[in-house]
Amino acid sequence: MNQLVSQKGAWALHMLRGQLGTERFWTGIREYYRRFRDANASTEDFRKVMEGVAGADLGWFFTQWLRRPGSPVVDGTWRYNPATKKVELSLAQTQAATPTASPWK
């Protein structure tokens, strides 16, 4: 497993917690563990448990953050500001957007 896979998985869980809220997220994690402890489970199994806790379809989230290949394309520039003695960064994600429908936004 490469570093991108590990980091992407961790960030996906972090973002899911942000979508569901900490309490619902951990309720879902506990329920997932209860159902699948000592067994095999798929990402789809995890999604279904989290949807049950959320009371909403999370297909859009799993498609956006887990099923789309690749990494974000980011362009950036920097400049040194002598007055503040700091480097100022400007970053922009530049790949084409895929529309998603989050029920929480």
Band (pLDDT 50/70/90 cuts) for residue 102 is: low
Q: What is the mean pLDDT of the chain?
A: 87
pTM: 0.66
- Neighbouring C-beta atoms of residue 90, cutoff 10 Å: 9
* DSSP structural state of residue 101: -
Q: How far apart are CA 29 and CA 49, in angstroms?
A: 8
List, for residues 46-84, the tens digit of each pLDDT value.
999 999 999 999 999 999 888 877 667 889 999 999 999
By DSSP bridging, strand 74-81 and strand 86-93 are antiparallel
pLDDT of residue 8: 81
pLDDT of residue 101: 52
